[in-house]
């Protein structure tokens, strides 16, 4: 089935942060229809960060398109002095701020921390320095903030618009391969349909060197009513030279031009 692209404005108008968290982040394994994709995400993120500690030291992590989620930050807070969360949609940024302020009704992330939950949550709250609006379709996704950084790519769709990553920085892309949609409430949100070779060749053209690739088959499409991805993957890329900035590109990053909003999913 053909899906129109649900870009930032569609998310701003329709996305329900709390429902997203309940649907996809209520348990350690994630949504039951999607197999144990969240477990894979968390386990491979931990292993990637352990791998990185042997090679580079971390200072700043920018989580691009965080949505209302904190799993990446909870994992990375162990390794980075500063974390910046970002998303296009206001209710997502507010959901993160709610958790930072320990407000009642904030999502429970204890299943991600695995151990020493209180310590880790405290550490995470202390290293998250900002929750910013970002728009990955723009050359400067954090406008009007201008980053004094060299250029690099932050979204699969916009691999030609290198804007954030320093040479020497590390880019982590975690996402789904060959996925056209995922479901939240009555809407189907469109996803960039990409395969492994597309991601590889786009990043290699930009001077990135692959360091690690992990993938896990998705659930049986016949029984998955939430989405249609074939594989969940994690790519770790190194951009040649100096310093570091670690960027985590969101699962199911949107991008591209939306012609009209997605059709309600009846």
Ligand X SMILES: C[S@@+](CC[C@H](N)C(=O)[O-])C[C@H]1O[C@@H](n2cnc3c(N)ncnc32)[C@H](O)[C@@H]1O
Indicate the residue among 20 and 208 with the shorter CB distance to ligand X: 20
Residues 5, 262: Cα–Cα separation, whole Å = 7
- Per rule CB under 6 A, is residue 181 in the interface with ligand X? no
Indicate the residue among 110 and 201 with the shorter CB distance to ligand X: 110
Cα Dmax for the chain? 51
Q: Within 10 A of 57 (CB to CB), how many other CB atoms are there?
A: 11
Q: Do residues 258 and 6 lie in contact, with contact meaning Cβ atoms separated by under 8 Å?
A: yes
Instruction: Provide the minimum distance between the beta carbon of 11 and ligand X in the complex, in angstroms, as a whole number.
Output: 4
- Per rule CB under 6 A, is residue 66 in the interface with ligand X? yes
Return the range that interacts with ligand X (CB under 6 A); candidates 46-54, 82-90, 105-113, 160-168.
82-90
Return the range that interacts with ligand X (CB under 6 A); candidates 103-111, 119-127, 213-221, 250-258.
250-258
Indicate the residue among 67 and 169 with the shorter CB distance to ligand X: 67
Residues 89, 157: Cα–Cα separation, whole Å = 19
- Per rule CB under 6 A, is residue 62 in the interface with ligand X? no
**Element (DSSP H or E) covering residue 181:** strand 181-184
Instruction: Provide the minimum distance between the beta carbon of 188 and ligand X in the complex, in angstroms, as a whole number.
Output: 12
Q: In this chain, which residue has its C-beta nearest to ligand X?
A: 67
Please tell me the number of Cα atoms within 13 Å of 107 on its side-chain side: 26
Residues 225, 10: Cα–Cα separation, whole Å = 22
Residues 83, 73: Cα–Cα separation, whole Å = 7
Judged by CB under 6 A, the residue of 15, 79, 142, 246 near ligand X is 15
Q: Within 10 A of 264 (CB to CB), how many other CB atoms are there?
A: 10
Judged by CB under 6 A, the residue of 34, 87, 121, 153 near ligand X is 87
Indicate the residue among 15 and 237 with the shorter CB distance to ligand X: 15
Interface contacts to ligand X, rule CB under 6 A = 7-8, 11, 15, 65-67, 69, 87-89, 92, 134-137, 250-254
């Amino acid at each position: 089935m053909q899906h129109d692209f649900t870009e930032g404005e569609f998310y701003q108008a329709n996305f329900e942060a709390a429902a997203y968290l309940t649907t996809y982040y209520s348990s350690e394994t994630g949504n039951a229809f999607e197999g144990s994709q969240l477990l894979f995400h968390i386990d491979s993120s931990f292993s990637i960060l352990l791998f990185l500690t042997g090679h580079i030291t971390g200072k700043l992590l920018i989580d691009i398109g965080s949505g209302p989620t904190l799993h990446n930050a909870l994992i990375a807070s162990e390794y980075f002095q500063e974390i910046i969360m970002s998303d296009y949609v206001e209710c997502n940024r507010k959901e993160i701020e709610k958790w930072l302020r320990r407000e009642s009704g904030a999502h429970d992330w204890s299943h991600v921390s695995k151990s020493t939950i209180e310590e880790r949550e405290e550490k995470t709250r202390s290293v998250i320095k900002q929750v910013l609006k970002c728009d990955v379709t723009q050359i400067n996704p954090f406008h009007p903030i201008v980053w004094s950084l060299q250029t690099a790519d932050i979204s699969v769709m916009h691999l030609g618009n290198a804007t954030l990553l320093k040479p020497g920085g590390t880019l982590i892309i975690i996402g789904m391969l060959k996925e056209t949609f995922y479901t939240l409430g009555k809407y189907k949100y469109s996803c960039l349909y990409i395969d492994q070779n597309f991601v590889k060749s786009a990043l290699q053209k930009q001077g990135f060197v692959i360091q690690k690739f992990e993938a896990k088959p998705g659930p049986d499409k016949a029984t998955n009513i939430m989405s249609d991805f074939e594989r969940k993957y994690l790519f770790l890329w190194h951009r040649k030279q100096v310093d570091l900035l670690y960027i985590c590109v969101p699962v199911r990053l949107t991008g591209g031009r939306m012609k009209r909003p997605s059709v309600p999913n009846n």
